[in-house]
Structure 1
Amino acid sequence: MAGAKPKSPVDLVHQNAIRCETIKKEQMSQKLYTEFSINPYKKLHVLTDKPMSRITNEHEEEDPTFLKIIHGARLEPTKRYTHPQTENQEIGWISTPLIVPDRSDRRMNFPRQNSEITKYMDAAWRLKEQTQNLG
C-alpha cells in the first residue's frame, strides 16, 4: 500500500457542523401537528374499564359534534349528500319505486302456481328422497 494516505485525526468541529446541517435539513421537511382527532371513517374499538377499578359509574360527557360526525360517516350516500358525487352513484340514486306495489293486482303480480302434474311430481320426488335417505 504505497499510495495509502495516513488517517487524519478526528475533527470534532467539522463533525458538529455536519450534525447541525443534517438536523436543519430534517426540521425543514418535518411538520409539527399539535391538534389530533379520531378518524370518523375508521372503525373505533373501545376498551372497557378494568373490573377492579375504584371509579364507579363516572362517565365523561360525549361531545355532540363528535357524535354527529361519527354517525354522519356511517350514513349511506343518499342521506349524506343532496346529489350524487360520482357517475356510479347516479345509477340507483332515486331508489323509490315509481308505482306502489299492490299484491292484489294480477297484472303485475305473478304468484307461484302448481298444476295437477307438478303437484304429483313434487310428491313423487319427496317420496323418492325419503326412500333414498333410509336405504
Structure 2
Amino acid sequence: MAAEKKAEDPVKQMLKAHKMLSERIRREEKYWKIVEHFNPPLTLSYVAPKFYSRHQAQEQDAAVVAEFERALAVRAENGPRESLEEPVLTSQEYGWYSGPLVSTDRNDARLYFPTHITEHTRHELLLQRADQLAREAENRERGKR
C-alpha cells in the first residue's frame, strides 16, 4: 500500500510546529513595529488625501466654510431641476421634461390614434350596467318594504 502514509512521530510534529512558530515570531519582530500612538509624517505629500483625516486636515477660513455650507443647503433644498439648466445624467432625463415634446394634433392620424371600443368591451359594459340596474331595483324594493 504505497498510497498510505506512515504515521509521523508526535515528537517530530511538535518540533516542526515549534520551528514554524519560531520563524513566524522572528519575522514579526524583524518587520513589525507596535506603537501606542501614531505620529504621522507631516512632511510627506499624500497620494490620495482623505478629507476626514485629522492629521491631514487644513485650517479653513470661516467665511469660506460658511459660504460652502450655504451653497450645500441651497442645493439640497432646490434639487437638480432648479439648480441645473439641463439634465447631466441620462437617468435624469426621465421626468425632466414634464410637458409633451411634440404637440398633439387630434386630427393628425400619424400621431393620434385612440383605441376604439371593441365588441367584447361593449358587451362587458352592457353586462355591468345591467347588473348595476338590477342591484338598484333590488335596493328600491327593499326600501319599500
What TM-score results when the alignment is normalised by the length of structure 2?
0.31
Greater length-normalized contact order (CA 8 Å, ≥ 6 residues apart): 1
What TM-score results when the alignment is normalised by the length of structure 1?
0.33
